[in-house]
Structure 1
Amino acid sequence: MVADREAIDRIRRDARGNELLRVTTMEPSAAATTPDDRLRLLFTCCHPALARQSQVELTLRLVCGLSTADVARAFLTNEPAMAKRLVRTKHKIKAANIPYRIPGDAELPDRLRAVLAATYLTYTTGYGEPDRCPDLSGEAIELGRMLRLLMPDEPEVAGLLALMLLTQVRRRSRTDSAGELVLLRDQDRRLWDRDLIQEGHRLVRWCLRRNEPGRYQLEAAIAAVHAEAPAFEDTDWKQILALYDQLMTVAATPVVALNRAVAVGEVDGAARGLHDIDQLNLPGYYPFHAARAEFLHRQGHIEDAVRAFQAAASLAPDGAERRYLQRRAASI
């Protein structure tokens, strides 16, 4: 069975490489059948001549093998619209004569940001759907390992790989035997992958020694703090908050601010956390409403909490997370 699946995955990758080769007039012999070929394909999809969103869309479609419908769902659009976008991007590759190659050393730093973003989105897309075939989170980790071999001195490459590994640690405990979501606070930590924890911690320590903090390194450090706590109650939230303060200096996005506000609530209480959440403007982001609901519930504001859980459920994708939010709204 394992050999059969590996053969199927290899055929998929060959087909994806050949698909890009056909639209870019590359030689068929250059199909993505080896790690180097997959990196060539990844860097081609993430060429700076392409818009950032186009880079990620094409990576998900060609490097990771998502169907056009799956890519459309990842970007909250419909399949015909996504098909047109992918065709336009492929035509742009051909018109711009974008080469099918790994950039030279001098070019790599400028090309890296898009490649890391595409790799991480690939990981998060697969992490939420553990039964997906192909296994996108596993493929993203494989790409991360290849990038680490290609750029062994780049801290953000090590940081991204560490972040994916330290998130993957919890994959088996995220859902129960019925496929229902289990929150971090309730997960059976005996199911966490200790080998991945050790590998992730080694990479984080390597990054800390470099002292060149970046987004992925800081997010990996946060994941490492979670991974080292023997129980949820033992989580060092003050350290996590300090890391989020650092992260806000290099990646001050609304989502980072939301995660920081959750950490504030764990350190300074639900009222303070809710206050910080309510300063944000994320009406279409379901974790925003879920975080509000949790802190409202802790303060005893039951009706407001129910409405917030309902809002979160209405925005969440179909699956375990939506069902969890619906149960929370109905049970409090």
Structure 2
Amino acid sequence: MRQPDVEAVFRQEYGRAVAVLVRFLGDIDLAEEAVQDAFTTALTRWPETGVPPSPAGWIITTARNRAVDRLRRESTRESRHAEAALLHAPDAPPEEGPVRDERLRLIFTCCHPALAPQARIALTLRLLGGLTTARIAAAFLVPEPTMAQRLVRAKAKIRNARIPYRVPSDADLPERLQGVLAVVYLIFNEGYGGSPELCAEALRLGRLLAELMPDEPEVTGLLALMLLVESRREARLDADGGLVTLPEQDRGRWDRDLVAEGQALVRRCLRRNRPGPYQIQAAIQAVHSDAPTAEGTDWGQILQLYDQLTAVAPSPVVALNRAVAVAEVQGPGEALALVEELDLAGYHVLHAVRADLLRRLGRAEDAVRAYETAVELAENPAERACLERRRRSLTRADPAP
């Protein structure tokens, strides 16, 4: 057995194992440490014994044993009570409530209103996705030490405020929904950068949410958004693993079943007429999916949707995406003026968009420098390769627009 086998199990099962252990232990740090110890043990044992028939069950059992051992070593009254509860947990009756899935339950628990919104999302990404602090910080566009402090404070808040690890009641679900949707979408985006297992997990959670809350249009909108983006996975990379941008993709390789499902959900959202950020983003992706070719894209409609998105959920990233639509409708000069005003210096996509606009304006030298900055900031190898290819094409080509 190779190390990648353990890594694959980690990506697929880490969140479930932590969710189970958190419910048994009532302690986030202890649950995380126990699960990490279990995977460390797997790295040592599985090469000799092979992957067990139920890798997730093996990890959870081993993690639970590690937690019991630690509680015994600590030998305090409180830890002995926790040890006793843990040892009897397998025979305990299932917890009742509207949320049955362990991982989804943990998301709703972490999205308690006592926690700051960004802390809720960051903590859930850490617990469910097993993402490093550095990767979570990159998703939020903040320095790693800042994100580390947020995670520590969030765990302390849960512990000190005695926030219960329990299934939320029906009345609790709506007020926690926005945080839950944000977490699921960030898990999906993290996976789309190179971990298909995370995308599959986000889609699974999205479908569960849609079953749990069928009357919430934003739940439907998020599921539609993820389906439409996921439909392009096979066309997103070339034979060498390089990124293929949306205008360059072979649309014949898009998954038409996912496109049809996503578009049907968008139409359902439109009939409800209660627009929200995820529904609008899904509608934008639906317009892209409607176009038989890149040249046939209805950019005017996309710009109108970005105007609507800016009104309901303004952000620098939304403004950047809107500028891309402006470039197609009003020209690269108008778009560049908008991009230059954005405070996203550490975001590689801004420099990539700026480079493309400069290239279209005939400012080749400026475009090369912008591409170089984008390459330095990009973390995904496929994106770096794409940006580097574009930079090299400019150094060889005629600088005329």
Q: 1:301: which partner in 2?
A: 363
Task: Write out per-residue CA displacement over residues 54-78 of structure 1, whole angstroms, 9 at most, x where no aligned residue.
Answer: 2222212222343566546645655
Q: 1:282: which partner in 2?
A: 344
Contact 2:234 2:253 in 1 (8 A): yes
Distance in 1 between residues matched to 2:148 and 2:22, nearest whole Å: 14
Matched, 1:197 2:199: no
Instruction: Return the letter of the residue paired with 1:156.
Output: E
Which of 73, 80, 89 is the equivalent residue of 2:154?
Answer: 89
Q: 2:222: which partner in 1?
A: 160
Task: Write out per-residue CA displacement over residues 157-180 of structure 1, whole angstroms, 9 at most, x where no aligned residue.
Answer: 101111111110111111111111
The 3 A distance-change label for structure 1 pair 255 and 74 is closer
Q: 2:104: which partner in 1?
A: 39
Q: 2:213: which partner in 1?
A: 151
Cα deviation for residue 11 of structure 1 reads 5.5
Matched, 1:112 2:174: no
Distance in 2 between residues matched to 1:112 and 1:53, nearest whole Å: 14
Q: 1:250: which partner in 2?
A: 312
Matches for 1:314-325 after TM superposition, within 5 Å: 314-325=376-387
Please report the RMSD computed on the Cα atoms of aligned residues, expressed in angstroms.
Answer: 2.8
Contact 1:39 1:102 in 2 (8 A): no
Cα deviation for residue 121 of structure 1 reads 0.7
Q: 1:17: which partner in 2?
A: 19
Task: Write out per-residue CA displacement over residues 115-135 of structure 1, whole angstroms, 9 at most, x where no aligned residue.
Answer: 11111111101101146xxx1
Cα deviation for residue 6 of structure 1 reads 10
Cα deviation for residue 9 of structure 1 reads 7.3
Unmatched segments (≥5 aa) in structure 2: 1-5, 29-81, 395-401
Distance in 1 between residues matched to 2:148 and 2:321, nearest whole Å: 34
Matches for 1:168-179 after TM superposition, within 5 Å: 168-179=230-241
Matched, 1:260 2:322: yes
Distance in 1 between residues matched to 2:134 and 2:313, nearest whole Å: 30
Q: Normalised by the size of structure 2, how large is the TM-score?
A: 0.74
Task: Write out per-residue CA displacement over residues 215-274 of structure 1, whole angstroms, 9 at most, x where no aligned residue.
Answer: 000000000011111111111101101111111110111111111111011012222222
Which deviates the most, 263-272 or 68-77? 68-77
Counting matched residue pairs gives 324
Cα deviation for residue 304 of structure 1 reads 1.1
Cα deviation for residue 327 of structure 1 reads 2.2
Cα deviation for residue 19 of structure 1 reads 3.5
SS in 2 for 1:107: helix
Cα deviation for residue 8 of structure 1 reads 7.6
Distance in 1 between residues matched to 2:327 and 2:13, nearest whole Å: 49
Unmatched segments (≥5 aa) in structure 1: none
Contact 1:141 1:164 in 2 (8 A): yes
Q: Report percent identity of matched pairs.
A: 54
Q: 1:206: which partner in 2?
A: 268
Distance in 1 between residues matched to 2:301 and 2:134, nearest whole Å: 41
Matched, 1:311 2:373: yes
Bigger Rg, structure 1 or 2: 2
